[in-house]
Chains A and B, each alone.
Chain A
Amino acid sequence: MTYEIPEVPGEEKVVITGETAGVWPLWEVFVRAKRGLNHIHVGSVHAADAETAVQNARDTYTRRYEGVSIWVVASAEIHTSDDSAAMFEPFADKPYRHPTFYEIPDEVGQL
């Protein structure tokens, strides 16, 4: 949804350009299901600021008691890996890097 930002006498004209022009910015939402677990990425919400992002995340993702804690991070602040062929494919043929590849001598017992 986009808005016309009204021009108000006495106020500077608000100009927002780029992809997010006229929409609330996007925030990534992480929810901790219960104490002792990690926050897990569950999705994203639109919000004008961090405080409303937490509230919107609460109403969007925890209304069935899915969580006890919420983190939000501005989506624009997330840096991602790219070029997946070069980044990850070299590891595809190195199964010996899994510790399960080796036989564990009986004497070692339970690791």
Chain B
Amino acid sequence: MTAPTAAGVLPTYVLRLADDLLINAQRLSEFITRGPELEEELAIANTALDNLGVAQQLYEYVSELEGGARTADEIAFLRAEREFTNCLLVEQPHADFADVMGRQFFLDAWHCELWPALESSGDATLAAVAAKAAKEARYHFRHSAGWVIRLGDGTVESAKRMQRALNTLWKFTGELTTADELDRRAAAQGSGVDPSDLQAAWQDRVGEMLDEAQLTVPADRYQATGGRSGRHTEHLGHLLAEMQFMQRAYPGMEW
């Protein structure tokens, strides 16, 4: 990925925020019809819709910043895998409910730090979207952290599965709070935040909940990165194939 020009920093930065939300929403919606109970399924679908709603606003803003060269839909449905800059965490698949909640818990904890920080962004549009997203994130976190605690402090089996999910996902969490050149430039412009500044707060938030859940914060080890520059795990391509199928098969189709 080539470094964006000064004018390109903001749209590229907003794009990565949106990609995290879109891909996470797609992953969550895979759980629809597979929830343990109708009510829990609805809760997960609501989170997915919240994420999708914010993603849509951000894609529309990117489109506007780019001068309308592509629409929000084209950005979402017609980019290739290497053009997506979402973090690796959100594209990780789930085998059971603990994986869904573990992934969501790490992401929600991140969003609970990120969005409030972005509320004071120098960019008015981004600040307004962040204010809305911050409220949603607080509820999402209450929901996912509640499940992490319930499963962690539940039965031997539920604690084992919850811990296994956290351990598996842990190597994708470092990327959330790792700053790259674009983050630093967006922060320097006053429109973005440097994620490494939020690292300690994220860790405290996660640690506090895992403590309550009687789970262990996974040991530090290799942290995978690459999502921000379009180098993804093998899972994203499969996700995009499903998500983008309709637009690829029937170009320009509308509902």
Contact = CB atoms under 8 A, between A and B. Distances in A.
Interface of A: 1, 6, 8-11, 24, 45-48, 51-52, 55-56, 59-60, 63
Contact of A55 (B43, B156, B157): B43
Contacts of B143: 55
Contact of B37 (A1, A6, A8, A9): A1
Given A11-B155, A48-B150, A59-B46, 11 more contacts: A1-B36, A11-B156, A46-B38, A52-B146, A55-B142, A55-B146, A56-B40, A56-B42, A59-B39, A59-B43, A60-B42
Contacts of A52: 146, 150
A2 to B, nearest CB: 11
B39 A46 contact: yes
A59 B156 CA distance: 29
Do most interface residues of chain B lie in helix, strand or loop, or is the interface mixed? Answer: helix
Contacts, number: 36
Chain A binding site: helix, strand, loop or mixed by DSSP? loop
Interface of B: 36-40, 42-43, 46, 142-143, 146, 150, 155-157
Nearest to B46: A59
Nearest to B39: A56
B146 A59 contact: no
The 9 closest A-B pairs by CB, nearest first: A56-B39, A59-B43, A8-B156, A8-B157, A59-B46, A59-B42, A45-B39, A46-B37, A11-B156
A45 B39 CA distance: 7
Contacts of A6: 157
Contacts of A11: 155-156
